[in-house]
Amino acid sequence: MWTRGDTGQWAAKQLTTGRLDMQNVHSAAWLPPRQEGGSECMVVAGMADGQLYLFKGTTAVKAIQAHAKGPQAIQPDGHVAYTGLRGMRLVETRDPTTGAPGYKRVLLTGGADSTILRWDVSDGSVAEGRFAGPPLSLRSALPDRGHCIRSIDFDAVRGVVLVGTNQCDILEVTESQQTVLVYGHCDDVWAVSFHPSLPHRAATVSEKVLVLWDLGARTMDRCSVVGFAARAVAFSSKPLEADGVTHHVAVGGAKGDLMVFLDSNLQPVHKTKDSREGITDLKYSPDCRLLAAATADTWIDIYSVSKGYTRLQRCSGHSSTVRGIDWSTDGSVLQSDSADLELLVWNARTGKQIPIPSRDVQFATYTLRLGFPVMGIWPDGSDGTDVNAVARSRGGDVVATCDDDGLVKLFNCPCVLDDAPHRAYRGHSSHVLGVRFNSDDSMLVSVGGYDWAMFQFNVVELVPVDHGPYLPQKVWGALDPEGRSFGWTYTPQNVQPGNAGGGVGREPLTPLPAPPAGVPPTQAMAPALQLGVGEGSGAGSRAGAESQEQLEEEIDQGDSDGC
């Protein structure tokens, strides 16, 4: 408890639990004065086991069982902790008849049991069973995962309770209804896949949960618990049901589970397990006849979609975890890369490696971190693990990457220059695990690790800027033909061999040729697209850097929307 002295300095006194059990304190609030016009106020605290501790002075004098302690979590040091009672707010309600303020003083508490209790504390104390209204229960979109309340606020004018949960959802709750303002993920988001024809429909997977999103409305469409730790997801490239519109969504697990759902209602249609170490990537062939599953077992399994996802071939040849796969446009060839920086090409019909593949093979997607089209995506000092995901646009003119630094980058495609110019966008607070373009290249989505976030960016075409005549930079060179005087100049002189300044036998110093007028060379190499704010759904970061220094050093702070 902090007290401000006459000199303006603050002094602290530690509160003790007295005869009550010592445990972690998750929330606290002042109660109103115990007497009208009095100054004595008690402190109430929410504890790890869901109890309320009532403090008089600096000592806890009473414990009230309010909420369940909730699911347990093993801490890094090995001890067991509980969510407990984290949401607490002292509010002043209005008269339900006249709307006049100051009707009652109410303590709102929200715990790990998905319940909000409204305690009547008008007399400055908390009494067991004395409430200002019935409890408010939260409904979760996931039936086996209730909301653990993390934060509470109150709108006295509307009588609405605002709630933040451990599933990253934000809700408005009253006695009669519950409105979800923002849906979120409840763990690291490992992968994202777009519907092949609906540009605003995307699927993401986090720990044991598959979510379908409507990115036009920026809201969750539907979700389902898959029953295993999901790591990969893929939409079928064509409708696969009799109605001609329903697609399949394949989900791969960290322990090798493969499960297929209908995108219309997330009904499971197939489940198998052919991997022991886990599935890292999934891709349907362009004609949707085959499904390829990259695994950490160092092989790739190919399934026949039309035969009920029967396994046809196993492509073995990698010596490390297979990280990504891509189909050729005709579905006859498969390429893959692995964690040991090896790129292999396969005959999809036989499952055999193609030792000398044709360079004329066109691939429907390009999501590998290796290969000629993405040679320049790796920054200086890379060890092969910095870039987590790659996605080429459907039009093939740009390629996006995401990395361990929390950046989403946009390159020209093919990207063949060493440390190529790019546009970089910051928004994620941790490493980024996946990135994909939608079906019409109007949007790019990135998904994060520890921030549990999905960011959507509009893809905006750059408006050409007239930079005026290009002025070459100064160089160090001869200031006179004899080579006696040197300095910084725009036009260094040619020094003839044998002159005193040039030195015997040296080649003439030739001025650097000037670039084309009006087009700075670094700007000409930068992508002609940017991730920015545009019409339609989603939002992105502001325009990319305009100079070489900005391209290499300056990162734009994004205005992207997170889901």
Alpha-carbon distances, residue 391 vs 338, 394, 433, 446 (angstroms): 16, 9, 12, 10
What pLDDT shows up at residue 525? 63
* Mean pLDDT confidence for 387-405: 95
What distance in Å separates the CA atoms of residue 555 and residue 236, rounded to the nearest whole number?
36
Where residue 336 falls among pLDDT bands split at 50, 70, 90? very high
Fold adopted by 2-182: Methylamine Dehydrogenase; Chain H (2.130.10)
What pLDDT shows up at residue 556? 40
What pLDDT shows up at residue 294? 98
Q: Is 282 left (phi over 0), alpha (psi -120 to 50) or beta?
A: beta
Residue 498 CB contacts under 8 Å (≥ 6 apart), including other chains: 504, 505
* Mean pLDDT confidence for 398-418: 94
Tell me the pLDDT tens digit for each residue of 421-440: 999 999 999 999 999 999 99
Radius of gyration of the chain (CA): 31
Tell me the pLDDT tens digit for each residue of 436-469: 999 999 999 999 999 999 999 999 988 777 777 7
Does residue 558 register a pLDDT over 50?
no
* Mean pLDDT confidence for 319-328: 97
What pLDDT shows up at residue 530? 81
Does residue 195 register a pLDDT over 50?
yes
Does residue 65 register a pLDDT over 80?
yes
Does residue 241 register a pLDDT over 80?
yes
What pLDDT shows up at residue 535? 38
Transcribe 12-50 into DSSP letters. E---B-TTSPP--EEEEEEPPPSSTT-----EEEEETTS
What torsion do the CA atoms of 307, 313, 319, 323 make, to the nearest 10 degrees? -30
What distance in Å separates the CA atoms of residue 94 and residue 446, rounded to the nearest whole number?
44
Least confident of 2-6, 203-207, 331-335, 489-493: 489-493
Tell me the pLDDT tens digit for each residue of 80-103: 888 899 999 999 988 877 878 878
What pLDDT shows up at residue 98? 81
Where residue 301 falls among pLDDT bands split at 50, 70, 90? very high
Record the pTM. Answer: 0.77
Domain boundaries, given as residue ranges, for the chain = 2-182
What pLDDT shows up at residue 10? 94
Does residue 125 register a pLDDT over 50?
yes
Arithmetic mean of pLDDT over the chain:
86
In 3-state terms, what secondary structure has residue 8?
Answer: coil
Does residue 384 register a pLDDT over 90?
no
Where residue 37 falls among pLDDT bands split at 50, 70, 90? low
